[in-house]
Structure 1
């Protein structure tokens, strides 16, 4: 790519990760190297199982399972912050060494709003990313500093969701 752009998929609706993975699928199909980092999500997901089978699609390993951050005790939160910062740093290093054409930072906006990662460090990364790198950020509430750097901003808005009726995530549909 001549110039990589920045995408933000945000909101309280379903589909942010799915949209990011759709772009990853398209990029992989064209021979681009995709790197995905999943913040605040475990590895048990049908979409991740499928993405791992794609050529040129790498997902940084994270925890097998992860509770909601607000349900973690102080020690668990400190431990997860350390892990998340290491994952972000590893992604930055991989990008700097030319290992990816598309970087997907799934739920990074929630990692920022939960103070796991700092807005400034993510914004600085975006300002100084390699020119040809395409970047996707997903989550709920993008800070202005991130939105100001985005070329695409797409909001997924929830109208109705089964979770509100007590139906939990179902394998193959929501996870």
Structure 2
């Protein structure tokens, strides 16, 4: 069994990218691995995001940056979100380089790159410089070709059908 840790990308317009990453985190935690979960564009205090609470209860370290996005909530100015996203990326780089964690999940980083909060080159440098002791997962719609090419695993989650299309709203415990 190889000891080298790899890079995962979960992207696409379908539901389940964060869920896949959280599932991997629970598997890792169950095996006694250390996990760091860092999210972009999600505000756990406003929207709940109970997966974050679950990961904390299981022993993961959890951080949130750029808590919002101009595309869905306009309460935080874009410039402030960009500044916080840059601080978040600095934190990601520090956590990966520290080799403190076996698994580092960066939720919605692909969106931060797609929407020009974080530069693609910076993510490619993170991937290139990742220590072999760290498994790295990047989620979110819009992963770039270059980022996908640099990864070991790429899962593209495609929406075929979704209840939102029929007017069914989010359900507690299922969508949030």
TM score, norm. by length of structure 2: 0.90
The equivalent residue for 2:110 is: 109
SS state at 1:95 partner = helix
Q: Which runs of 5+ in 2 are unaligned?
A: none
1:160 to partner: Cα distance: 1.0
- Aligned partners of 2:42 and 2:64 also within 8 Å: no
1:168 to partner: Cα distance: 2.6
The equivalent residue for 2:13 is: 12
| Correspondence 1:77 to 2:65 | no
| Correspondence 1:125 to 2:126 | yes
**What is the rounded CA distance, in whole Å, between the counterparts of 1:148 and 1:164 in structure 2?**
32
**What is the rounded CA distance, in whole Å, between the counterparts of 1:138 and 1:129 in structure 2?**
17
**What is the rounded CA distance, in whole Å, between the counterparts of 1:78 and 1:3 in structure 2?**
38
Q: Deviations over 1:100-121 (max 9, x none)?
A: 1111011111111000111000
Q: Which runs of 5+ in 1 are unaligned?
A: none
Q: 97-106 or 19-28, which moves further after superposition?
A: 97-106
The equivalent residue for 1:52 is: 56
**What is the rounded CA distance, in whole Å, between the counterparts of 2:43 and 2:169 in structure 1?**
16
The equivalent residue for 1:28 is: 29
The equivalent residue for 1:86 is: 87
SS state at 2:33 partner = coil
TM score, norm. by length of structure 1: 0.90
The equivalent residue for 1:166 is: 167
- Aligned partners of 1:37 and 1:60 also within 8 Å: yes
**What is the rounded CA distance, in whole Å, between the counterparts of 2:126 and 2:65 in structure 1?**
21
Instruction: Count how many residue pairs are aligned between Structure 1 and Structure 2.
Output: 172
Q: Deviations over 1:142-169 (max 9, x none)?
A: 1111011111111111111112223332
**What is the rounded CA distance, in whole Å, between the counterparts of 2:145 and 2:64 in structure 1?**
29
Cα-Cα RMSD: 1.9
